């Protein structure tokens, strides 16, 4: 099966012999990884889960220790 590299669009054979699949090379794989790490790529969804933890990140004592 042949597909396009998600980064450079070069045609790539999808097979166990390609250690970088679905990418054509280690370079394209690392560029994609960097995009996710820099949050250039995101998965769409509700930010509700982030709101549940925002109090902890702001320093609010949402879950105080016993005796406080």
Whether 66 shows a pLDDT value over 90: the answer reads no
Contacts 24+ apart (CB under 8 A), 31-37: 31/7, 32/6, 32/7
Look up tokens 């005796």; give the residue.
67
**Upper half-sphere CA count for residue 28 (Cβ side, 13 Å):** 17
Name the band, by pLDDT with cuts 50, 70 and 90, for residue 24: very high
Domains within the chain, CATH numbers bracketed:
2-57 (3.30.50.10)
43 is in an annotated binding site: no
5 is in an annotated binding site: yes
8 is in an annotated binding site: yes
48 is in an annotated binding site: no
Q: What is the pTM of this model?
A: 0.60
CA angle 23, 6, 12 (to 5 degrees): 45
The chain-wide mean pLDDT, for the chain, equals: 81
d(CA 68, CA 52): 21
């Amino acid at each position: 099966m042949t597909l396009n590299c998600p980064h450079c669009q070069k045609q790539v054979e999808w097979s166990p012999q390609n250690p970088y699949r679905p990418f054509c090379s280690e370079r394209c794989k690392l560029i994609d990884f960097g995009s996710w790490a820099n949050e250039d790529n995101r998965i769409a969804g509700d930010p509700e889960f982030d709101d549940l933890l925002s109090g902890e990140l702001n320093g609010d004592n949402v879950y105080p220790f016993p005796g406080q």
